[in-house]
Amino acid sequence: MKKFLKHFRYGQKGFTLIELLVVIGILGAIAAIVVPNVGEFIGRGKTESYATELHNIQTSVMAMLVDDANSTLDFVPAGATTDMYDITGTNLAGQTLYLSDYCTGLGDDPATPLVTETTCVKLGCSYTFTADGKVTQTTP
């Protein structure tokens, strides 16, 4: 300890060039390990968010089919769509059911009236539906 404090008494302050190079080398090695992993985490997060949105849409379709009189979707667009207001069914009272009503909160703006809340899609994916409720996702 006395040797260490002796350096400060004689005006020797700061780090040597070797010490600085060692620190820079250690920081470089840490950066070489961290940077590729961050890119991997970002890619995995996007894939998981697509899967989550598909699951939310499938859950909304299943809830709509439970309320539907025939347990089938009445109108399904021919191609892929992002407009959930296009997917319709009919309940036992003869009222039209809209898929957009079942997936509220999944991207809809609560400040707008329900009729204009037509999308449940936030990630840019489009969806294809069958009458029996099967959902297929197309990612951007």
Q: What is the pLDDT of residue 26?
A: 96
Q: What is the pLDDT of residue 90?
A: 87
Tell me the pLDDT tens digit for each residue of 6-16: 655 555 667 88
Mean local confidence (pLDDT), 108-114: 46
Band (pLDDT 50/70/90 cuts) for residue 74 is: confident
Q: What is the pLDDT of residue 108?
A: 46
Band (pLDDT 50/70/90 cuts) for residue 111 is: very low
Give backbone dihedrals phi and psi of 80, rounded to 5 degrees, phi first: -70, 145
For the whole model, what pTM was predicted? Answer: 0.62
Q: What is the pLDDT of residue 12?
A: 61
> Average model confidence (pLDDT) for the chain?
79
